[in-house]
Amino acid sequence: MQIKKIRGWKRRVKQLGGWKKDSITLDINSLKEYGVEYRKIFNFDERYFIPNWFKHKIVSSFIDVFKHWKAQAKDEFESFYIRLDINQTDIFDSEIMIVIGDAIKEYKSKWEKVEKHIPKPDWVIEFCKKEWIPYYQCSVWLEDEINSLSDTDKSKLMEQLVKVNKINDISEEEIQEYTIIDSIVWCIEYENKPSIML
- What's the mean pLDDT in 21-33? 95
Does 182 or 73 have the greater pLDDT score? 73
Quote the CA–CA distance of 15 and 38 in Å, as a whole number.
18
Could you give the C-alpha distances from 150 to 88, 107, 156, in angstroms and in order?
A: 28, 33, 10
Could you give the C-alpha distances from 114 to 42, 93, 105, 162, 187, in angstroms and in order?
A: 27, 18, 19, 10, 11
| Model confidence at 2: pLDDT above 70 | no
Give 3's contacts (C-beta < 8 A, 6+ positions apart). none
For the CA atoms of 183, 86, 187, 129, the dihedral, rounded to the nearest 10 degrees, stands at 140
User: What is the value of pTM for the model shown?
Assistant: 0.79
| Model confidence at 178: pLDDT above 90 | no
